A and B are shown apart, each in its own frame.
Chain A
């Protein structure tokens, strides 16, 4: 097959969108997760947990805007089909994101007696947003099926994704805090890890049975062989991380970032599996990325900008994370 832009551009954009979604899930995953863990934390711990994500959450959420933006600008047909089919869950997600986003700021600025209310809203918003994302993932995996089976599966994935985000949050707290809170976070991680593994197994099992096309893609030789590292590696990482939770925190705070990185790797593996299953469709079994794509000249002009800007974005995002590196201290405006 010879190289031509009209074929390559939608593929490149599918890759970029996938990357944006993956980065979003990992980054906003930990700050949504910390919101969920709010329910299990004391007042003072909550302040430290907020301090661990305060400078980052805004930029984390921007990856969602980029992901939806890329879906919107590169695959306008798919954007319409997916979002009208998921009208109510998208709405629930947005309400969750609105509530938690503003609660971040309100809880620090309202008179002290009202702080509790905004803490509760922060928890609720984070939980609602996570559940909505999981539900949407479940329904999407089943090909936007909103019958009884689709809804039931969506609900299952919703709880598992919320647990996965909570695990990410716990891993981030392990990295950013010390003392009692860190020990507590290790226990949180252990609990949520079980649910996360369960959720990933459920999605992995359901995906091939959702569509005969994906089934054929998975269970043929030699594709099975190439794919086998994904589930095996994920399972091993889960087991290893589970065992680690009995040894953390380690003296001198060694390996405090390891749980987070391990979870991020597991997320990436799971994501790669999904991407392999659905390719070349952007709306499962209905629209391929080429059918849904914008005109090549429009994609080209976006790509030109992306190639220049994306490395810069990644560079200064790293810089921002470095500025606020180390253990979280009280967050102040000075």
Chain B
């Protein structure tokens, strides 16, 4: 078996599994801070109940993110040794700064945030929450800087076949970095708001009308309703940035074969790379030109300009459509839920039932988006600098096949366990309602077992 394909599948599987959890923790840290600050300001214990319910989700997601992240840091060496040989001078410092400034900050204060409510003053506990949330966001900053540099490298020169840094500012803030960072942070915010809204809707469906449920539900729905239009705008800007720096990726996303004006927006098609055409195409005339160039005569790049040097069309075309489609669905659901919560102070049952599976819509859109941009970088690992095929290590295909199989089994089982616990926690919170004791808030002695454990 081909170690290249297998190593790519393994890295893809690992990073897909990994990204699910940071996507939750980045924004959930800030949501927890919001719950905490509302409690500090209002003294309403429902905010603290919401905090305690969701801090458990945070702890679990964080642990899943840590263990799958450790795996990533080893895989650079086990499967892609030539990556660091070629661009280690750039990637190294960025990763080192992520570990030094973000990982330790999160890990050290996570303990205080999770278990320290009665061991430190309320102010220190709030500060710990701020530092953990800040740490997760800082971590995103560094890793997005590195990923974006691989997409649109800048600020370096090649000496003796190895990349050397010339301008660190240009490396960190490379052309696609600000767009990708904003797009990803918003994606995290949407993932968390739909997760909170969805699990709260599940509580709502089981008859839970407690204050903490309402508070979480409203927070989720209104945050989603505010973020989604911003995300659509940010995504559009990110697309225009990609058009400028990676036109072949845009050509694949739009499944456009020939460069020219009046390019239609393809809604459905089965792109056929061998024949260089789309089958069963349904398209809006001039659509792509209007979206990308804001004019019907706008020139849109075509795949035929990049023979042998463009990414595979089919997966990108479709993952992009899944992302956009999910985004549109998110807009519809969050706005209608916001309308009902604002005007009617209730949620129609069908809408609540739709919101439960939508709890995972953020995951779907995030994964689809990352597949678009990462597969869209192929055949390059670092655009114009290092091809993916040249980075793979000497490990035998059979070894990679074995490890890949076990990883996949492990990840599926863990995912099932994780989702099971989320539902279990939501149902338990629904059962407890507003009646669960809050020993931390009520200044109970240290030895009293808490509600959640």
Q: Chain A interface (Cβ within 8 Å of chain B)?
A: 54-56, 58-59, 61-62, 64-66, 68-74, 76-77, 79-84, 86-88, 90-91, 94-95, 97-99, 101-102, 104-106, 108-111, 294-295, 297-298, 301-302, 305-306, 309-310, 313, 316-317, 319-320, 323-324, 329-334
Contacts and interface: CB of A to CB of B under 8 A. Distances in A.
A97 B70 contact: yes
Given A79-B76, A298-B92, A330-B453, A110 B66 contact: no
Nearest to A88: B399
B283 interface: no
Given A80-B85, A83-B81, A309-B101, A62 B120 contact: no
B208 to A, nearest CB: 18
Contacts of B414: 98, 102
Contacts of B399: 87-88
Given A65-B103, A329-B446, 11 more contacts: A58-B63, A58-B107, A62-B99, A64-B70, A73-B95, A91-B403, A98-B414, A297-B165, A301-B93, A323-B112, A332-B453
Contacts of A66: 99-100, 103-104
B109 A316 contact: yes
A323 B81 CA distance: 41
Interface in B171-222: none
The SS class assigned to the A binding surface is: helix
Given A298-B165, A316-B108, A323-B112, A95 B77 contact: no
B141 to A, nearest CB: 14
Given A91-B78, A111-B424, A309 B63 contact: no
Contact of A334 (B52, B74, B394, B417): B52
A298 B90 CA distance: 7
Contacts of A323: 111-112, 116, 119-120
B84 A80 contact: yes
List of 8 A-B pairs having minimum Cβ-Cβ separation, nearest first: A334-B440, A80-B81, A73-B92, A55-B111, A83-B77, A332-B450, A76-B88, A76-B84
Contacts of B89: 294-295, 297-298
A324 B112 CA distance: 8
A324 B66 contact: no
A148 B198 CA distance: 55
B304 to A, nearest CB: 38
B92 A72 contact: yes
The bracket for how many chain B residues form the interface is: 35 or more
A111 B423 CA distance: 11
Contacts of A91: 78, 403, 406
A105 B410 contact: no
A81 B101 contact: no
Contact of B114 (A98, A99, A333): A333
The SS class assigned to the B binding surface is: helix
A258 B68 CA distance: 35
A73 B393 contact: no
A91 to B, nearest CB: 5
Given A97-B67, A333-B52, A320 B84 contact: no
Contacts of A316: 104-105, 108-109
B108 A332 contact: no
Nearest to A301: B93
B168 interface: yes
Given A73-B93, A313-B100, A334 B439 contact: yes
B71 A98 contact: yes
Contact of B112 (A62, A83, A297, A320): A320
B419 interface: no
Nearest to B119: A323
10 contacts: A58-B63, A66-B99, A83-B77, A84-B394, A110-B420, A294-B88, A295-B164, A302-B97, A305-B97, A305-B100
B115 A332 contact: yes
B78 A90 contact: yes
A150 B80 CA distance: 25
B328 interface: no
Contacts of A68: 73-74, 77
A80 B406 CA distance: 22
Contacts of B420: 110
B447 interface: yes
Contact of B440 (A108, A302, A306, A332): A332
A65 B111 contact: no
Nearest to B421: A109
Contact of A65 (B59, B73, B116): B73
Contacts of A301: 93, 165, 168
Which of the listed residues B60, B97, B417 has the most CB atoms from chain A within 10 Å of its own CB? B417
Given A87-B399, A329-B447, A102 B93 contact: no
A106 B77 contact: no
B382 interface: no
A319 B394 CA distance: 44
A110 B416 CA distance: 12
Given A94-B70, A298-B92, A79 B84 contact: yes
Contacts of B66: 58, 61, 101
Contacts of B104: 59, 62, 66, 309, 313, 316-317
Contacts of B71: 94, 98
Contacts of A305: 93, 96-97, 100-101
Given A98-B68, A98-B71, A333 B120 contact: no
A290 to B, nearest CB: 15
B85 A104 contact: no
A90 B406 CA distance: 13
A297 B164 contact: yes
Which of the listed residues A56, A68, A79, A306 has the most CB atoms from chain B within 10 Å of its own CB? A79
Contact of B425 (A69, A82, A95, A109): A109
Contacts of B106: 58
A334 B103 contact: no
A330 B440 contact: no
Nearest to B124: A323
B365 interface: no
Contact of B70 (A61, A109, A111): A61
B260 to A, nearest CB: 44
B395 interface: yes
B109 A320 contact: yes
Given A72-B84, A72-B92, A102-B64, A320 B111 contact: yes
Nearest to A298: B89
B77 A302 contact: no
Given A295-B164, A301-B93, A65 B120 contact: no
